[in-house]
Copies of this chain bind each other. A is one copy, B any other.
Amino acid sequence: MIGEFSVRTRSRNDAVDITSEVQNIVSRSGVSEGICVIYVPHTTAGVTINEGADPAVMQDVLESLEKLVPWRAGYKHLEGNSAAHIKASLVGSSVQIIIDNGKLSLGTWQRVFFCEFDGPRTRRVKVMVS
């Protein structure tokens, strides 16, 4: 089953917790044991799994990526958003989570985050449950 939803990001770099939206699609699918693939169809955004209890964790992730890949650094791509493309390849455009007993089998502290690197924008997320 393929599901889809949109995410509104609030700044150039942003991390949005999308765990509930993904779990809703898993629940609607009726799949009890399987794999859930979360896929971002954009080239200046990504998706990652990390701690959700303290929002400072994802702030640190975004700021560290900004230090590693500065917005301006003599890039060739003329649109000016190369840093966002580079971060997308570092973080990745998909994650997968095991489904066990109808639930995303996440660790205690794990949440799924949409990672915006060239916002603010409205973005799409695709989810495949099998």
Bitwise, A72-92 to B at CB < 8 A (1) or not (0) is: 010111110010011011111
With a CB–CB cut-off of 8 A, which chain B residues contact A88? 49-50
With a CB–CB cut-off of 8 A, which chain B residues contact A16? none
Contact: A60 with B35, CB < 8 Å? no
Contact: A126 with B109, CB < 8 Å? no
Contact: B39 with A96, CB < 8 Å? yes
Tell whether A42 is near chain B: CB-to-CB under 8 Å.
yes
Tell whether A97 is near chain B: CB-to-CB under 8 Å.
yes
Contact: B50 with A89, CB < 8 Å? yes
Contact: A64 with B35, CB < 8 Å? no
User: What interface size band does chain A fall in?
Assistant: 35 or more
Contact: A2 with B98, CB < 8 Å? yes
With a CB–CB cut-off of 8 A, which chain B residues contact A64? 69, 73, 82, 86
Give Cα A128–Cα B105 distance, bound, in whole angstroms: 11
Return 17 A-B CB contacts under 8 Å, by A number: A2-B33, A2-B100, A42-B107, A42-B109, A42-B110, A56-B77, A56-B78, A60-B77, A60-B82, A64-B73, A64-B82, A64-B86, A65-B86, A68-B68, A89-B91, A92-B92, A94-B96
Q: A60-B85, A93-B95 are in contact. List 4 more A-B contacts (CB 8 A).
A: A2-B100, A35-B35, A61-B82, A94-B96
